[in-house]
Amino acid sequence: MTIFLGDTAPDFEQDSSIGKIRFHEWAGDSWVLLFSHPADFTPVCTTELGLTAKLKPELDKRHVKAIALSVDAAQSHVDWIKDIEDTQKTVVGFPILADHDRKVATLYEMIHPNQSSSATVRTVFIIDPKKKVRLSMTYPMSTGRNFDEILRVIDALQLTDGYSVATPGNWRDGDDVIIPTSIKDEAELQQKFPKGFTAERPYLRLTPQPNK
């Protein structure tokens, strides 16, 4: 099953480090960061889950819930969390799915046979409150993810959902944004972008971030 951007994120029920989770029910009206890791008690994964735990205040500000996944058992997750908290000096305040039957990994295509026939690669899904998949990224097993980039993309998605803008390459919260080429009417431009804009080309118009 291939998941495209804009698709409804598949629902599931699965065991986790905090008990059974019904995914859509657990997600509620929040954004969701769903990410897989190859295995418990491995070094790269330990740093990644530690980083995610430390980002909880930033995720909370953005109304985002994090949930991790590997094919290890729930008790393994519980035991490993103690190591994460001890070595990374943090508290893991999010669940880890115990996908021992690979049900979720199969739904979300998290197992790539040329990497491993059983373990999940480092997949990321960002899912909005309507349960729509808004972003997917896949990293190889040997490469830890950039969680600053994940926050940046969430900021961009939430901004562009709220305002008629797009974000340029390397955009960060507070930078100028782009006015889509579909907006041409002068009255609409003045109404939506009272701070004005600069036009490098007719198709490239930059305006200050509207909510700043």
What amino acid positions are annotated as catalytic residues?
A: 45
Element (H, E) at 125: strand 122-127
Contact 99, 120 (CB under 8 A): yes
Q: Yes or no: say if 158 and 29 are a contact pair by the CB < 8 Å rule.
A: no
- Backbone φ and ψ of 81, nearest 5°: -55, -35
Q: Residue 208 in contact with residue 176, Cβ under 8 Å?
A: yes
In this structure, are residues 37 and 123 in contact, taking their beta carbons and an 8 Å threshold? no
